[in-house]
Structure 1
């Protein structure tokens, strides 16, 4: 009911507050001097509002509440209303007024008016006219007739402060509301406070009554009542139902208790067998299933998680024992002692293995470093010892004079032999430790190696070196890479029966890639490794020392491809 009044008030203030209505206000205020006319559009507007909201009448009146325009001729009540209320309405400083004009209806029907003052620009403090809207009481009656939960004797009705009804009585439908005088205890209290009580209604019948004053500017209250006997009838029926249900429940509980005791004991015995197996170190091989969400099911689920966790722990231990230190493992909780111990053991074993690998690499690196140092010493001795002696022999032979032709030929043969010996010493010296590698770096060393191989073999070698950085390559990297290429070329010369070789190198700031390809007969890699091929082993060891990867792919009859990828740290 209150929602309807509030919604109607907001809508009407909005509709009649528009400019096309307000612009008539000054003319209405000055009605004695000007004749006010409503155009067809405004009349249609009023008709539409009346139809939309189902109002009984809409009247535009001047400041003395004289009718200027009305939707219908039912304005007699306004004449009675004018004589008593026109002056008092002028003094009201409100945008919307509710007024109970029931006493001015000559028949005795309830009359509710909505009055909207129209303020003129000439006198903004006092209204220059009024819009008077007569409400259809049938709408209130429809709201009150919604008797959900009120039974056959319940009703809701409106009563004013004059203790007369403003809605049709359910029990006296032929009587006019204003002719029904309500002097019950509910009406005596409702305009003081709201309440809910058992009392006598206006028929002098015992009822359950709930009442409160409506929350808007009318001295009206709404009272809802139902006969006491009808109200307590469901309670008495419910009492009887409860007694019958209680008896049935006791019987059902006794039966259910018997089955529940069996349903509880069987899962507990089942869990006991599983836990006994776990206590002996035996992991159940069957799947543990839990049903429901009760405590037994939760214990079963916890046991299942324990078994699954034990399985994962066992599998993780097997993986760790097999050397798979990258296997993932999730502990049962932050306080899983066994799981945390296994993770700690895995980390320690992994650390020990890494330390062992590092020591092996350090030993291999030291061994290779010793080899390189020995080669440097050997090259120096060749150069300083045998090389110089051969040079002296050549110089002495050049200084000797042969007396006849035969001696001259012998001298020349010896000189050729000495020159060949010097060349062989130089070749051996280059293979052992090329000076160009030491002096000019990897690119020059590999180029010299390719030239030297082409000179002493029938191989056609195409060498490409792409350098995408200006930073020099460390000698500790250049030497192992050179040895890997040198070993690969030696293998091609000895075993591949190739005619063409392609060597491609790409050097970047942090990365070096090398590819050595031939068109030889290829080989079975597994067979070579099985026979303990020292060359491949040496190449792999040198690649590992550089934290690189060496890939050799060989197809018999199609040749061999050797690829080397190593990271470079130039710090």
Structure 2
């Protein structure tokens, strides 16, 4: 569908326009219908009021004649005629006609005439078509008959007060012929038949008001009612053209159409502006989400000016960006090998955070295994080195030493010049001493037999005998102390390396050493009064690094402090 291809702004604008049009059209229609109903009710009520007013006036006119005829009936021999009748007289019998053009016998039947006054309609027999009413009553001398013209009734009906330009009131006789002159047709009333729905209802005793077609076939609002007075039967109607009556409604309809056009224009402009304003943050968020899909996690800096769903979405998006950045920082720390980094889960449903923490735990485990394997490899290498040293030391002591001694004995018994023999023996003695020294350096027998404490003591004794520097040594580790051979060898090698470094670089005059065995660890302490050095400065030597690696292999700790006034080294190794 085309609608699905539109962007959200156009969709929102179309929806707003559609809803506005539907609501406006519905309200306009309801208002129009309500106004139409109210206007029709008002028109019909007004017609009914006008009709009732005319009936009252017509009845009053007829009652004046009725009273005059009643007075004459009380004194039938009165010779002076009434001004209200243009003909009156007493007849022994009911005549066929009066004045040659008013048929009487056909209008009334003698058996229906009593001493009560009876009225009959003679309008169609009047040459001037004036409303003409006859009066008849039975007297002692015969029948009193009077005829009167009622131009006043015609005048009453022609009054258009409250009827506008097309309003009309008229009377229809029982023969469905018009009794009053028509405002619209120039023909004689006697030639105009009126058998509209209003007339039929009136003669059927169904008075009321309705929208009907009149005798011209024109749609009118009509108020109709049957008029009866002593035998006189008329239908009185008051009507007005529908077009004129509903002219305010047509004007209202036009105004509503104009208003609807203005509303459409206003809604079109307003919806476009509002859709742009409302959709802009959504478009910005869509671009932000696209950037996030590319790994760009900059904060969403669109100003939050509303506290509605869009504002909440912006806030939620910024929280998402911050959470992802926090996760990235944590992942970066893990990637850099900082397994001590901590991460607070965003919620119980933070799957990414849980996965990263599990990954950190796995990496920690891998690191521990790697360190363990590395330490084991280093231990194996050192153990191999120490084993090889021990082997070489033993071979030099047990193999090379006896061979040199045997050689010395042979030379002593050989027949050589005394000076030559003495020179060779001196060289052999030096060689034997050197072999012993090398054997002792490789693996002192005292280290194997009595432990690191005694071995370090012998090493210090040998150095002190050289006279180059004074070393003070304190041994608080009894030989019967049960310490693993690897720790014994580590302590001895560290003592060798630390003394060697001090002799080479410290320019110290005095070195202090001590070794102490506790219940759960061994402490080794070295200090000198030399010139010191920068422990953080990289050097080409391997002495300090070797000591650190040896301490690490036995799970010990090494603390080094160096100042221009001297250097201090303290090592603690746990006894397992």
With normalisation by structure 2, the TM-score equals 0.46
Larger Rg: 2
Higher relative contact order (CA 8 A, sep 6+): 2
With normalisation by structure 1, the TM-score equals 0.47
